[in-house]
Structures are given as structure tokens and as C-alpha cells.
């Protein structure tokens, strides 16, 4: 019987308190299980496996981690509950998937007009974000760490040209929250389909548009063969992060040196995965342009202003769910104001002048 069948039989739900054996410890070796919400393929699942391998090698084999693809051990999106209960020791996932537990999780995965990947990492590591995240996830018996990043995403795929914000009225769009709420307020019908269903849904006309990640992952899925218009920038997810979640009792049972080792490995994988996504997105974009069948367009300024105006209220709502959400939202706003003063005259200004070379 697979562990996901155990979940079904037990009726596992948020906040469930179940008793399971501690991680296997034999001859000084700890065998842990990491469940993910990533399907087989490039990008995120290889990142999770690379992280596990780094931890194993850095610990000289004392910590061994078995990584599973989405659905292999527990059902998709039950990964958080599985780690919370102690059924498994770790998850690797987009923590925004679990926003029903706390809307504040969105701030650690990506919000509209939010942090870039570098800014998010700066807030979490040096701006007080980690301490607040620890307190929030501690309520669910989980120790969270940033562990991977897709970087800035694209705005999305459309079967027809978008000329104004009014064009979103009646549009059938696949998008994740909280960006989905922005299009919902513009009159779109928003659905959250599993990745495996997106291409067929576009081809059949079940949806008119979707967003996924960026050129690398989007082309691997075949989205460029199902829609003709590809829009940027990815205002809805400027620096999307993936979290490593560790059962808190397991985390506290580790030696402090092993805790520091896992923290370092997760930080390393965040940087490595970001570099990998940036490189492969650049290569994929070049291939896409060379093929010449897809029209790559920028959302016009009027549309971007409309998205931004609605996003203010959407993000504020994500920060109003409970006491922790409010504290995290205020910290996010304070650090965003601070970091923008530097980002705008540093990397932002530099990118604006690089066209002169």
C-alpha cells in the first residue's frame, strides 16, 4: 500500500494530528522522504533531486533523502498535510498552493508586482522574512526554507491578440492565485488546471489563455504549439520561489550542524536553480524567436497600470487573513519600499542603459 492510500484511508485534512514512526535511523544514517508537487520533466523535480543529493553528499551519506514526483507517494497538493502530520519528513513545492491554510504563504512564493527572486531572498534572509515565516509555519508543525526559484515568469499565452484590459472580460484563463483574482476582477473566468491538462484545454477551446512559467518550461510542455501569442512581463510572479518544508519535530531532532548544512544546501539550490532557469529561458526564447510562429508581445502600459491598480487590493487582502498575515504583509511592504530605492538605481537603472552598448 502506498502512502497516498494511507492518506485517503485516514481522511487526512488540514490540522490533522496523526502519529507515525520517526525517520529511520540505522548505523548513524537518517533516511528521509521528500514528496513534491512536481511532475516528471525538466525544471523543478530535478531541482528537488539535486537538493537531496547535495544534502546527502555534504553529510557524507549520513542524511539520505528519497525524492518522489507528484502523486507517487501522496496525492498532488497533499504534500503539506503529509509533512505536517509526520507521514513523511519533507516536501518541495510552491507554498502558494497551500494558501487556504494562510493567505500569507503567497508572500513566500510570489505576489503581483512583488519581489524579484533576489529581492525575495534578501527579505527572507536579512529583512526579517524568515523569522516571520518560521512563526507562521510553526503553527503547522513545519520548518520552511526557500530552496528553488524560477525567476521572473512570462505574462502568459493567448489564442488571440490582447489590445486592452477590457479584452479580459469573458476570457477563460488558467492562472494561479493571487494573480488570478486580478483577471477575475477584470471579468475573466479563471480556472486552475493541472499542468498536464493545459495544452489540450487550449487546443480544444476549453480555455482561451494560460500562464505557466517561462519559455523553457512552457516549450517543454508544448504551449507554443497550442497558442499563438506570448505576452510579457510576468507582473503576476516576478520572482517565483519554491519552498522546502520539513516536519518540525524532525527538524528539531537534527544536530545544529545538520540544520546549518540543510539551510546552506537550500540556499545554494535557490541560486543554482535560478541560474539554470535564466540560462534555459534565454536559450528557449532564442529558439522560439527563430521558429517565428509565435508572436511575442508586451502588455501595453494601460493594461499594466490596470493590473497594478487591482493588484494593490488583492495583495492587501492576502495580508489581512489573520495576525500573522498582517505582520508578514507589513514586513513585506516595508522591505519592498526599502529595496526598491536600491534596485531602481542599481540593477534596474543598469538594465535600462544596457541597450546603448
- Residue 96: name the closest of 188, 177, 10 by CA: 177
- Non-local (6+) Cβ contacts of 203 within 8 A are 226
- What is the C-alpha separation between 52 and 40, in angstroms, rounded? 16
Mean predicted confidence (pLDDT) in 193-201 = 83
**Domains annotated on the chain, with CATH:** 3-12+20-148+239-279 (3.40.190.170)
For the chain, give me the number of helices (H) and strands (E)? 13, 12
Per-residue pLDDT tens over the stretch 212-257: 999 999 999 999 999 999 999 999 999 999 999 999 999 999 999 9
Residue 139: phi and psi, rounded to 5, are: -65, -20
**CB atoms < 10 A from the CB of 2, how many?**
12
pTM for the model stands at 0.89
pLDDT of residue 355: 80
Provide the CA 160 distance to its chain's centre, in angstroms.
Answer: 27
- What is the C-alpha separation between 273 and 286, in angstroms, rounded? 20
C-alpha grid cell, residue 59: 553529510
| Cell 519592498, located at residue | 336
Per-residue pLDDT tens over the stretch 51-74: 999 999 999 999 999 999 999 999
Alpha helices in the chain, H assignment, sequence order:
3-10, 44-58, 79-85, 117-126, 129-138, 179-185, 195-204, 215-221, 248-253, 256-291, 301-318, 323-345, 347-353
Angle made by CA atoms 71, 74, 79, in degrees to the nearest 5 = 100
Residue 142: phi and psi, rounded to 5, are: -135, 140
**CB atoms < 10 A from the CB of 11, how many?**
7
Per-residue pLDDT tens over the stretch 70-117: 999 999 999 999 999 999 999 999 999 999 999 999 999 999 999 999
Evaluate whether 106 touches 236 at the Cβ level (below 8 Å): no
- What is the C-alpha separation between 221 and 41, in angstroms, rounded? 9
DSSP state of 149: E
pLDDT of residue 26: 53
Q: With a cut of 90, say whether residue 10 has pLDDT above it.
A: no
Per-residue pLDDT tens over the stretch 309-340: 999 999 999 999 888 899 999 999 999 999 99
CA distances from 141 to 14, 81, 85, 209 (A): 11, 10, 8, 38
> Exposed, middle or buried: residue 17 (CB in 10 Å: 0-12, 13-18, 19+)?
exposed
- What is the C-alpha separation between 46 and 52, in angstroms, rounded? 10
pLDDT of residue 27: 63
- Residue 136: name the closest of 147, 122, 124 by CA: 124
Angle made by CA atoms 135, 139, 142, in degrees to the nearest 5 = 80
pLDDT of residue 19: 42
> Exposed, middle or buried: residue 193 (CB in 10 Å: 0-12, 13-18, 19+)?
middle
Better-scored residue on pLDDT, 149 or 194 = 149
Amino acid at each position: 500500500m502506498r502512502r497516498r492510500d494511507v492518506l485517503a484511508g485516514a481522511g487526512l485534512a488540514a490540522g490533522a494530528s496523526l502519529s507515525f514512526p520517526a525517520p529511520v535511523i540505522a548505523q548513524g544514517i537518517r533516511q528521509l522522504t521528500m514528496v513534491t508537487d512536481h511532475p516528471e520533466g525538466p525544471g523543478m523535480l530535478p531541482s528537488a533531486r539535486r537538493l537531496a543529493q547535495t544534502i546527502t553528499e555534504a553529510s557524507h551519506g549520513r542524511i539520505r533523502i528519497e525524492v518522489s514526483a507528484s502523486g507517487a507517494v501522496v496525492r498532488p497538493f497533499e504534500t503539506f498535510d503529509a509533512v505536517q502530520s509526520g507521514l513523511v519528513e519533507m516536501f518541495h513545492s510552491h507554498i502558494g498552493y497551500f494558501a487556504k491554510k494562510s493567505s500569507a504563504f503567497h508572500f513566500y512564493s510570489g505576489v503581483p508586482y512583488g519581489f524579484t527572486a533576489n529581492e525575495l531572498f534578501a527579505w527572507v534572509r536579512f529583512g526579517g522574512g524568515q523569522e516571520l515565516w518560521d512563526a507562521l509555519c510553526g503553527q503547522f508543525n513545519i520548518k520552511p526554507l526557500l530552496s528553488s526559484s524560477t525567476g521572473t515568469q512570462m505574462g502568459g499565452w493567448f489564442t488571440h491578440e490582447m489590445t486592452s484590459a477590457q479584452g479580459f472580460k469573458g476570457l477563460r484563463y488558467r492562472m494561479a492565485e493571487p494573480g488570478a483574482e486580478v483577471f477575475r476582477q477584470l471579468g475573466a473566468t479563471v480556472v486552475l488546471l493541472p499542468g498536464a491538462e493545459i495544452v489540450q484545454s487550449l487546443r480544444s477551446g476549453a480555455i482561451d489563455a494560460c500562464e505557466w512559467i517561462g519559455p523553457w518550461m512552457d516549450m517543454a510542455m508544448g504551449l507554443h504549439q497550442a497558442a499563438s501569442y506570448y505576452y510579457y512581463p510576468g507582473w503576476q510572479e516576478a520572482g517565483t520561489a519554491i519552498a522546502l518544508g520539513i516536519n518540525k519535530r524532525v527538524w528539531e531532532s537534527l544536530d545544529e550542524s545538520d540544520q546549518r548544512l540543510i539551510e546552506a544546501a537550500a540556499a545554494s539550490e535557490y541560486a543554482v536553480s535560478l541560474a539554470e532557469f535564466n540560462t534555459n529561458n534565454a536559450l528557449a526564447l532564442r529558439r522560439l524567436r527563430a521558429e517565428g510562429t509565435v508572436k511575442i508581445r508586451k502588455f501595453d502600459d494601460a493594461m499594466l497600470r490596470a493590473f497594478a491598480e487591482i493588484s494593490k487590493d488583492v495583495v492587501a487582502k492576502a495580508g489581512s487573513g489573520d495576525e500573522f498575515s498582517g505582520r508578514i504583509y507589513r514586513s513585506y511592504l516595508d522591505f519592498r519600499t526599502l529595496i526598491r530605492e536600491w534596485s531602481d538605481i542599481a540593477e534596474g537603472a543598469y538594465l535600462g542603459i544596457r541597450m546603448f552598448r
